[in-house]
Each structure stands twice: as C-alpha cells, then as structure tokens.
Structure 1
C-alpha cells in the first residue's frame, strides 16, 4: 500500500489529485461529480464579480494525436456569489475528507478586493486561489506577466484574505521571471502555494484540410493544454519549488494523462497535481485510473508515500 495523501495551505487532501480550475467545475452538479470521484479535492471555476457566458462557440477543441487541447473559454462562470453560496453549504463532514478550493479571477483589482472581502466576511474553511493568469480575455493582459501590478494587487489582497491562500500562475519562460515572481511571493507570509501552470497562451490550431482555425474566439488564438505542455509545466513547478521559501508549496498542472506524468510533477516538486485536458476528454474516472497508475509506479520504485521523492529530480 502507498499513501497518496498530501496537505496544501494547512488542509489535508486524502489524494493529491484534483481538477484543474475551469474543467468540470462551473455548476454544482459538476462539483458533485468531483466529490463522487476518486479526486482528493476540488477547485471551482474561476469566478468573476458577475456571471459571464464566456467567448462564442466553438471555444475548445482537442488536438489530433492526443497531444493536448486548445481553448479560449473567456471565463464562463456563474458569478462569485454562486460559488460563495456553494461554499456556505458545502458539507465537509460528507465530502470524504476533500477540502474545497475557490478560484477567483476578478476583471480588476476592485473586483478581486470585493470578492475577497465577501469570502473573508463569510469566514468559511475553504481555501481561496487568486487567478492571475487567464490568457483568453480579449483586451485583458494576464496580470501574472506584469510584476509590478501583481505585487501591488497582492499588497491589497493578502491582508484582506488574512489566512493562507494560493495564486494561479501563467507559464514563465525566462529564468529572470522565475526569480522576480518568486521574490514577490516570498514577501507575503500567507501566500501558501502557487499553481503552475495555466494554459500556454495564444497558440493557433488550424485544420489543414479545411484551412480553418479550430476555435472561433480571437481569430482562433487560444490557450494550449494537455500533454504537449508537460515540459513547460514541469519547469515552472521545479523553478518555484526551488525558489519559494517559508514552506510555500506548488500545485502542478499541465500535461497529466497518466500516472507517469503525475509522478513527474511530484518529482519536480509538486505537492498536489491537477488534471485538465484529460479530465475534459475522459471524465471523472480519470482520477481513479491515474491514482492506480501512480500507485503502481511508486510500488515499483519502492516508494510508500509522495514525500519520499517530492522535489528530488536529479540533474546532470
């Protein structure tokens, strides 16, 4: 037997696998499916101040060869009050020990401030995650790429939240940016973790036969996910694992199709692992399959728990 449990931001997950925010988590029935699955936790769809329909369809497409997906969803969600009410009635005693993570993605700092104040005032045991990395809003740059603006936002939001919280990050591609971002996060004691990565922004997928983009929004430009972003995800996980201090953790997201990729995320330093594209394509049964595959890998390697190999990737 092997132990797949972990803890994030002071809460325990019976299994370190969970959904990536944005997949199977917009409505209550979808969140219930996650509770009924073998996932160890669940995170809601990134919420805005008011509900949003998102970008026009088609806005998601799997890519040939099972290499991944492209999407330009545009933050379709029910508005933060929907998820606040869900959090208020969330029955922790009947959730199989699964904690609840709430993702917030305000369209402005005042929006994020208002949402964080509402959750603070409700004094709920859920963990907040602020999404600084949505790449699919026309005319809205990702805050995670503006270091000064991101730090200014955290100076406002961290004291409001008060308790441990997380940040959803875009992928970084330059060592200097890893250094700069980590230096910012290390200034805030109650930043408990970062989630790496959101989709790789603004790819373009074209069907060669019809000579047409696969998705409609932004002239076909969208975020890339799935297996083809694995190495970028692992690099970001490991970069922040090496740079964050005071017990700050990393949740790995990107490229997980089997237990092997989950193992690699942990080896790179992830304390938990999210599944997005594969969950979209396979459904919630993916958690049971990946958990079993991860357990088999650990048994074959002689590991009994994930702490024995977390962050211990070897370099040449």
Structure 2
C-alpha cells in the first residue's frame, strides 16, 4: 500500500509538476500498478479558451513591459539613455512615410507626451558656454519653427538641447498660408516651407509657458529644501534644464508691426530666458522690409522700451535678439550691424530660411515651390553671412549661427566663424533625436582635436 502511494506521488509530480494537480483513485487502490496507471491518466481539459487579437496584443504588450522592466532594472540610467537614442534611429524613418506637415504634428505630439528619448548623461564640460549671464550646458539649440506653440518644451529640452526657441508667436491666432505648405527635398536634406506664421496666439502660448514656469519654480523650491550645498551651480533657465527663447512675430493683416511685437513682449517675456524679434520670414508679406536701417532702429527702440518698462528681479530683463535673413546685401548687413551696435542689441540670429535656390537643388522635385529653403544647401550662405556680421560688429555682439548644420564639424565651423551658439531644425526633422548626442560628441571631438579647453574659447577663432 505504501509503495503504491509513493509511486503514484512520484508519477504525478513527474507528469504535471505538482502532486496537487490531480486526484485519482490510486491512493486507495492498494496496488502500485494501478496507482501508476491512474497517475498517468490525462487530467480533465480546462474550458476552451478563445484567443482574440485583443488578448494576443495585450499579452504581447504585457510581455514587452515585463521584459523592458527587467532590462531597465539591470542597467544604469546612462546605458538606458544610450539605448533609447539608438532605438530612435530605427523609428524616425517611419515619419517620412507621412506628409511633411502631418509628420511634424506627430513629432510634436510625441514630444509633448514625453515619448521621445530622454538624455540623462551629462554634457562634456568642454561644451559649456556662458552668455547673457546664463550658462548653457552645450551650445546646440533647437531653432524656432519646430515647436511653434510651446506644446513640447519639456520633452524637447529633455532630448539634450542646450536651449530651444518656441514660436514664432503672433498676438492673434492665425491659420497661416493654405496647404500644402511644406515640401521635402530629401536628395539634399532640405525643406521648403511657406507656413506663414501659423500660430495659436500669445494667450495660448502664455498659458502653456506659465504652467511650465510654475513646475520649474516648484522643482527649484524642493531642490533648495533638500540640498545642503547652498552654493551648488544650477544649469538651465525658466523652463527647466535648458534655456528657453521666445520668438515673436506679427500678424499677417496687422498694420502696426511694432504694436504686435510690443504685445508679445508684455505677455511672454516673463517666461523667456531671451526674446527674439523675427523680421526675416519670407512668408509674411512686407516683413523683411523691417530689416531696413530706419525701420529696424525704430522697431527695436519700441520693443526695448516695452521690455524695460516692466518690473524685473535681480536677474534683469531677458536679452533681446533679432533674427535676420541670409539674402541681404552687404549694405543691408552693414546697416543692421550699425543699428545693433548703437542700440546695444543683445544678439543676432543668423540666419532664417532663404528665398534663393542654390545650384544643388535646381531641378529637384518641389524646388520651384514658393517659400523659404532650409537644410544643407543653406549652410554655406548662412555661414558666410555669419562670418561677415562678426567682422562688422567687431565680435562685440553674441551671434547665433543657424542654417544647414548637419554634423558636429559644421557646428564647429559656425562657432569658429563667430557663433556663440548654434541652432538646428531641418536635419533634426530628418534624423530625429539620435542627431543630438551625435552632434554634441562630434563637436566635443573637434574642440579637443584643436586644443580648445571649451567651446567658449573657439568662438570667432577664424578671425584671430
């Protein structure tokens, strides 16, 4: 009897992994042979499970989450950050399957929901730059035009930009130009757009930036309460771990451009680490005429007065910059330099998109579309304008180099030509988040190769 029971238990455990899974008559049969036979009988079948795509998908996602959690649990933050940026390389090409404007909307949505990679690795110390009393962990920024309505500030700064610019923001909401208005020239890594300052307006943008500013202040309060090092240095600005610029535009139907920019200053400057007057978009009729010597001088005076009449704390008012076009004559550039020096402008962004069509894009599909051309074909032209403006201003005014940058080497060329900071847009639209750590690593390598201890040392090196 005992032998029968023992053999039955062993058989059950071997066959099904647990003696509790089955109950047979073997325990009371009194025969070892009968007990073994009973143990190997098939257990009753469970109720038939109906598999559906919903259940399969749920199971797959659950498995992915569990596997991802296990992976994350065995790796440090730097490793995870590197892995997510690497994964982004394979995801970003999917955006090219969409219409350019729809792809732009999806990218903003993903960034606003923090579905993009987050950089947790510190920037190389060699990339640090100080200007306008602010410290940038790196000089690589996102140009205006990508996040027009300040929908994704936290997510985009989290990718690893040293700074970013929202806008252009107009006082009153406007749709912009009719669609289609964005065109890819993939052979040259270029884009032509004629958006025409499509904007949700300053009220909507102020609401978003106000919420972001509140989160930043709350985080600072918590950090100051828990830290014991009162002298710790904090990188970043009003929006978080990065500097935030607000780019101001005018409404298409507005007859008083200065009033539009003043309204933007009054409403949005409290949330900005720096302000930009955009007078160089080719897609708003008459806007580029504001770059004339007299018009620009009158405009800047009014905007500066509006900014300075507001009450500011110890850090003072946000710096004021002007964004100019790359299609200006030498006389136009000389006039702008004279105005900037005489009014002690805080900086110039060089440059916006071009209405010209370099030989490299002639004959390509969409090359004849109206609008501003950006991307790789703009690099040489915008860098030449940057170099000339540095000479015209004697290196006394900080310059932001924008236009055609697609590598760390090209960012380095801009800095040597006179740029304190650089901005990206089109190449970021093509390559996605993976571009940012690559371009910073390449820039750091260029600086170290040529013996510069910091990016600050390399500014304007070609002129020395």
Residue 225 of structure 1, CA deviation = 0.9
1:18 matched to 2:141? The reply is: yes
Residues in 2 aligned to 1:235 and 1:92: alpha-carbon distance in whole angstroms: 38
Compare CA radii of gyration and give the structure with the larger one.
2
Residues in 2 aligned to 1:302 and 1:96: alpha-carbon distance in whole angstroms: 32
With 105-114 and 222-231 compared, the bigger mean Cα shift is at 105-114
Residues in 2 aligned to 1:143 and 1:11: alpha-carbon distance in whole angstroms: 32
Taking a change above 3 Å as real, the CA distance of residues 300 and 54 of structure 1, as seen in their structure-2 partners, is same
Identify the residue that residue 177 of structure 1 maps to in structure 2.
332
1:132 matched to 2:279? The reply is: yes
Residues in 2 aligned to 1:274 and 1:173: alpha-carbon distance in whole angstroms: 20
Identify the residue that residue 418 of structure 2 maps to in structure 1.
269
Residues in 1 aligned to 2:441 and 2:332: alpha-carbon distance in whole angstroms: 36
Identify the residue that residue 38 of structure 1 maps to in structure 2.
160
SS in 2 for 1:152: helix
Residue 30 of structure 1, CA deviation = 2.8
1:98 matched to 2:242? The reply is: yes
Backbone CA RMSD of aligned residues: 2.5
Identify the residue that residue 297 of structure 1 maps to in structure 2.
446
Residues in 2 aligned to 1:8 and 1:87: alpha-carbon distance in whole angstroms: 23
Task: Considering Cα pairs closer than 8 Å and 6+ residues apart, tell me whether 1 or 2 has the greater RCO.
Answer: 1
Residues in 1 aligned to 2:372 and 2:460: alpha-carbon distance in whole angstroms: 27
Identify the residue that residue 196 of structure 1 maps to in structure 2.
350
Taking a change above 3 Å as real, the CA distance of residues 125 and 198 of structure 1, as seen in their structure-2 partners, is closer
Residue 2 of structure 1, CA deviation = 4.7
Instruction: Please say if residues 191 and 375 of structure 2, whose CA atoms lie closer than 8 Å, have aligned partners that are also in contact.
Output: yes
SS in 2 for 1:84: helix
5+ residue gaps, structure 2, are: 1-123, 220-238, 252-256, 309-316
Q: Deviations over 1:142-165 (max 9, x none)?
A: 134422211111121111122321
Residue 278 of structure 1, CA deviation = 0.6
Residues in 1 aligned to 2:339 and 2:385: alpha-carbon distance in whole angstroms: 16
Identify the residue that residue 150 of structure 1 maps to in structure 2.
296
SS in 2 for 1:264: helix
With 284-293 and 306-315 compared, the bigger mean Cα shift is at 306-315
5+ residue gaps, structure 1, are: none
Instruction: Please say if residues 203 and 222 of structure 1, whose CA atoms lie closer than 8 Å, have aligned partners that are also in contact.
Output: no
SS in 1 for 2:346: strand
1:74 matched to 2:223? The reply is: no
Residues in 1 aligned to 2:292 and 2:272: alpha-carbon distance in whole angstroms: 31
Determine which structure has the larger strand proportion and give its number: 1
Residues in 2 aligned to 1:117 and 1:245: alpha-carbon distance in whole angstroms: 32
Taking a change above 3 Å as real, the CA distance of residues 250 and 144 of structure 1, as seen in their structure-2 partners, is farther
SS in 2 for 1:313: helix
TM-score, with normalisation over the residues of structure 1?
0.87
